Structure 1
Amino acid sequence: MHDLFCLRRLLPSRLAAFLVAGLLAFSLSGCATRAATGTPVRLDDTPRIAVMSAFEPELTLLLAQLQNPARHRINGIDFTTGTLQGKPAVLFLSGISMVNASMSTQLVLDRFNIHGIVFSGIAGGVDPALHIGDVSVPAQWGQYLEVLMARETAPGKFTIPPRMEAQTMAPFGMLHPRPVETRTAASPAPLRKFWFEVDPRMLATARSLGALALESCNAGVCLTHKPQLLVGGNGVSGQAFVDNAAFREYTFKTFGANVLDMETAAVGMVAYSNGIPYIAFRSLSDLAGGGEGANEMLTFMNIAADNSAKVLLAFLLAWTP
């Protein structure tokens, strides 16, 4: 604005007034247009599949396979476009935690032309039948830490407020999980929902992969069994790193979960709200407190991350959007 008034002093009065008025009108018109539409500008219009991981080791193998990469930075997040397994894709890190996953998922949907979301990463194993290195592809995901914290009315006895009993699930002490309220463009009325189902066609493609050669060793660290691929069942997510045997047992009993992590259910909720198909591949890096010794995540993280990425690559090769 200061420059406009300097221009008015330097130019003949009529010309200056004309230019100033025109520039102001253009500027205000642009602001009004942006305010009216509220639509973020897309970085390109190529239909792409969004390939997500939470943190860097999970995305390393996938980035190495990406052809013709081009990087875009939005709000500090790097989005790398290119071709993965012959499919136009955009790869990025969601960041660890539910809030980061929600925010970055909506960001990629706003700024790119996304027709599907796939997530690759590690997780804590909940089902006692699964082992470190196995890859789980659940059919649905829920938020186990969307909870009501009940009042303790006697030692070890917790009571939830009246008329809220029907909204909660089996508790763990004072923690009573419950559905989360969500909306979609097609159904703007609030809907309480716990499970967010993955896309059935994507799940069918994952089932068609059969037995894959998954890694048992990495950098001199080896597993004592051959990793397996399991498609179906449940996964749960929440804002906690779980390393507790009692809570692991509760999670399996209550939700029938194969695995738990800190992002996928948030991605599923955003995908549901936007009407975008999604699926997640999670490999066990640890047993969420169920192991005999200390938590194993740092020991087996690289094996798990690579196994998840290899299943995702096989999926993309077989997937027809």
Structure 2
Amino acid sequence: MHFQFDVRRVLPSRLAAFVIAVFLALSLAGCATRPVTGTPVRLDDTPRIAVMSAFEPELTLLLRQLQAPARHRVNGVDFHTGTLQGKPVVLFLSGISMVNASMNTQLVLDRFNIHSIVFSGIAGGVNPGLHIGDVNVPAQWGQYLEVLMARETAPGKFTIPPRMEAQTLAPFGMLHPRPVETRTAASPVPVRKFWFEVDPRMLAVARDLGSIPLESCNAGVCLTHKPQLLVGGNGVSGQAFVDNAAFREYAFKTFQANVLDMETAAVGMVAYSNSVPYIAFRSLSDLAGGGEGANEMVTFMNIAADNSAKVLLAFLAAWK
């Protein structure tokens, strides 16, 4: 036997409608106020600096210097706690790509007591005044592949939808970069941002580092010049490995970028949303398509990775 209760059969129509309306309102209110469950459990309560790199060669030197190491594993990611230059830290790999960097930056913030973030790694050089092995510490980072792909309305002519013109930057063909919508706990109203600024106090410490002896050779491979440290300027990030001279020139002209990578702007956006200060150290392993021959990344990757790590270690030693 199947029995179905219908409130409209036992109550006058107007009263039945009222009862149904109240029931729905209470149900919706319950959904709206239900607390979030499953909050991640912290693995460590010590206030720490999150020290990130994208892939193993970038973290090698730092792991060798880590004192009193302990390992935690979450979602397949190894987090190494300990001290660097006397500072409590947690070292880990973000993984290559913007998505990996976003996901694992949030993961470390959820599972550890993080008061600041520093990134060390390699990058493609965009500014023609920089050389392989140089280390740049940009003042801000943007996402050059957060784009609108415009419609081709004539051969070589691309048109973007009406009323979206003001939201885009200078294009590269059909690609029109634009700001991304962001929000924070302190500012829940969405704000469109392209640049995510590093922490000014951390940048000031980096500016005062002075001369740091950077490597010119690794495993018999040597540069033809002495690497330098440059603090300031812009960096850009996107979901692409860039080895294209035309795009390199465009990125320098449009964003005045010194370097280009695949993670830092994503880290900057997560840091911004969580109100956590960050800074990034990036050493040039290649010229993003600006070299005379084949891409140099594999050849000079270890020199660049170690130079970035050396500047980061000097920064940690100086930061009080």
TM-score by length of structure 2 reads 0.89
Aligned partner of 1:147 in structure 2 is 147
State the alpha-carbon separation in 2 of the partners of residues 141 and 36 from structure 1. 32
- Paired residues for 1:118-133 under 5 Å: 118-133=118-133
Partner deviation per Cα, 1:260-279 (whole Å, 9 max, x = no partner): 00000000000000000000
State the alpha-carbon separation in 1 of the partners of residues 35 and 283 from structure 2. 43
How much does 1:249 deviate?
0.1
How much does 1:128 deviate?
0.2
State the alpha-carbon separation in 1 of the partners of residues 275 and 187 from structure 2. 11
State the alpha-carbon separation in 2 of the partners of residues 151 and 49 from structure 1. 45
Aligned partner of 1:156 in structure 2 is 156
Partner deviation per Cα, 1:170-200 (whole Å, 9 max, x = no partner): 0000000000011100001111000000000
State the alpha-carbon separation in 2 of the partners of residues 180 and 39 from structure 1. 27
The secondary structure found in structure 2 opposite 1:42 is coil
Partner deviation per Cα, 1:60-81 (whole Å, 9 max, x = no partner): 0000000000000000000000
Partner deviation per Cα, 1:121-149 (whole Å, 9 max, x = no partner): 00000000000000000000000000000
Aligned-partner residue type, residue 140 of structure 1: Q
Aligned partner of 1:7 in structure 2 is none
State the alpha-carbon separation in 2 of the partners of residues 300 and 83 from structure 1. 28
Aligned partner of 2:211 in structure 1 is 211
Identity %: 90
How much does 1:36 deviate?
4.1
The secondary structure found in structure 1 opposite 2:169 is coil
State the alpha-carbon separation in 1 of the partners of residues 272 and 215 from structure 2. 33
- Paired residues for 1:37-48 under 5 Å: 37-48=37-48
State the alpha-carbon separation in 2 of the partners of residues 187 and 278 from structure 1. 19
Aligned partner of 1:194 in structure 2 is 194
The secondary structure found in structure 1 opposite 2:45 is coil
State the alpha-carbon separation in 2 of the partners of residues 123 and 261 from structure 1. 5
**Pair 1:262-2:267 in alignment:** no
In the alignment, structure 2 segments of 5+ residues that lack a partner are 1-33
Partner deviation per Cα, 1:227-259 (whole Å, 9 max, x = no partner): 000000000000000000000000000000000
The secondary structure found in structure 1 opposite 2:100 is helix
Assess, with a 3 A threshold, how the Cα gap between structure 1 residues 36 and 286 changes in structure 2: closer, same or farther: closer
**Pair 1:284-2:284 in alignment:** yes
The secondary structure found in structure 2 opposite 1:266 is helix
Aligned partner of 2:236 in structure 1 is 236
State the alpha-carbon separation in 1 of the partners of residues 220 and 202 from structure 2. 34
Aligned-partner residue type, residue 199 of structure 1: D
State the alpha-carbon separation in 2 of the partners of residues 53 and 267 from structure 1. 11
State the alpha-carbon separation in 2 of the partners of residues 35 and 106 from structure 1. 20
The secondary structure found in structure 2 opposite 1:46 is strand
- Paired residues for 1:58-97 under 5 Å: 58-97=58-97
**Pair 1:106-2:106 in alignment:** yes
State the alpha-carbon separation in 2 of the partners of residues 208 and 163 from structure 1. 45
State the alpha-carbon separation in 2 of the partners of residues 235 and 164 from structure 1. 25
How much does 1:35 deviate?
6.6
Aligned partner of 1:176 in structure 2 is 176
State the alpha-carbon separation in 1 of the partners of residues 166 and 38 from structure 2. 38
Aligned-partner residue type, residue 296 of structure 2: E
Q: Work out the number of aligned pairs and report it.
A: 287
Aligned-partner residue type, residue 217 of structure 2: C
Aligned-partner residue type, residue 88 of structure 1: P
State the alpha-carbon separation in 2 of the partners of residues 295 and 118 from structure 1. 27
State the alpha-carbon separation in 2 of the partners of residues 56 and 235 from structure 1. 22
Runs of 4+ in structure 1 over 6 Å off: none
The secondary structure found in structure 2 opposite 1:283 is strand
How much does 1:37 deviate?
4.2
State the alpha-carbon separation in 2 of the partners of residues 225 and 319 from structure 1. 29
The secondary structure found in structure 1 opposite 2:44 is coil
How much does 1:284 deviate?
0.1
Aligned partner of 2:309 in structure 1 is 309
How much does 1:38 deviate?
3.8
The secondary structure found in structure 2 opposite 1:142 is strand
The secondary structure found in structure 2 opposite 1:305 is helix
Aligned partner of 2:27 in structure 1 is none
CA RMSD, aligned part only? 0.9
State the alpha-carbon separation in 2 of the partners of residues 86 and 254 from structure 1. 41
